């Protein structure tokens, strides 16, 4: 929708992607927090598992569902906007700046989650939504910060897409950012929290 309404204005298209993404994240976390802890992101689930706050078997199941759900979501968007169902993105997103941006975006997302659940758990849904909204603009990569979303966006030749060949670099950067966040959070707060974004 952002791409269709922007009339070629890239900043407006980005804004049209940013606001609904941040807003729906808040809604989804509030809805699904009581069900699953609102695990929508493989690096978040893996981070909780690495801290001993989620069984690895459960994290693996979450990750599989997250990937399938992201792909189905991309296909649903194609159907709603009458685009070809099966696509591959041609949008190049590669290079040291993009990878660093993804590491920073993922580090900040995990730090937002860990910090909030440590001291202000009720604020977590809002903080995550606001963080992602802001990170669209302060990162060079527009803050994918989610391997499942990265894979799904490779299957959409739209404004939000990423070339399949650029996906591995993004996922490695996201993993590095997540690992750094886990180490920093363990040092910063010296405490374990419930595995939930509620």
69-127 pLDDT, tens per residue? 999 999 999 999 999 999 999 999 999 999 999 999 999 999 999 999 998 999 999 99
Q: Comparing 19-23, 58-62, 188-192, which segment has the lowest mean pLDDT?
A: 188-192
Report whether CATH 1.20.1080.10 matches the domain 2-189.
Answer: yes
41 DSSP 8-state letter:
-
Distance CA 102, CA 155 (A): 19
Q: pTM of the prediction?
A: 0.90
Q: What is the DSSP string of 129-165?
A: HHHHHHHHHHSTT-----HHHHHHHTT--STT---GG
Element (H, E) at 53: none
Single out the residue of 107, 105, 127 nearest to residue 117, CA to CA. Answer: 127
pLDDT > 70 in the chain, percent? 95
| From 6-10, 15-19, 56-60, 88-92, the region with the lowest mean pLDDT | 6-10
Domain extents for the chain?
2-189
Length of the chain: 198
With a cut of 50, say whether residue 44 has pLDDT above it: yes
pLDDT for residue 193 is more than 50: no
pLDDT tier, 197 (very low <50, low <70, confident <90, very high otherwise): low
The confidence score (pLDDT) of residue 194 equals 45
- The 10s digit of each residue's pLDDT in 136-148 is 999 999 999 999 9
Query: Which pLDDT band, with edges at 50, 70 and 90, does 160 fall under?
Result: confident
């Amino acid at each position: 929708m952002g791409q269709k309404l922007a009339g070629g204005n890239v900043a407006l298209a980005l804004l049209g992607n940013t606001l609904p993404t941040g807003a729906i994240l808040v809604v989804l976390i509030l809805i699904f927090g009581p069900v699953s802890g609102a695990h929508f992101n493989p690096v978040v689930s893996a981070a909780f598992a690495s801290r001993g706050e989620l069984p690895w078997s459960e994290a693996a199941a979450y990750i599989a569902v997250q990937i399938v759900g992201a792909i189905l979501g991309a296909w649903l968007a194609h159907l709603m906007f009458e685009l070809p169902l099966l696509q591959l993105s041609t949008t190049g997103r590669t290079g040291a700046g993009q990878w660093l941006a993804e590491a920073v975006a993922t580090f900040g997302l995990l730090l937002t989650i860990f910090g909030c659940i440590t001291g202000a758990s009720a604020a977590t849904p809002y903080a995550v939504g606001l963080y992602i909204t802001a990170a669209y603009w302060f990162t060079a990569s527009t803050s994918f910060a989610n391997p499942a979303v990265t894979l799904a966006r490779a299957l959409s030749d739209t404004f939000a897409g990423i070339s399949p060949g650029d996906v591995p670099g993004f996922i490695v950067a996201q993993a590095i950012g997540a690992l750094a966040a886990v180490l920093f959070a363990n040092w910063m707060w010296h405490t374990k929290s419930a595995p939930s974004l509620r």
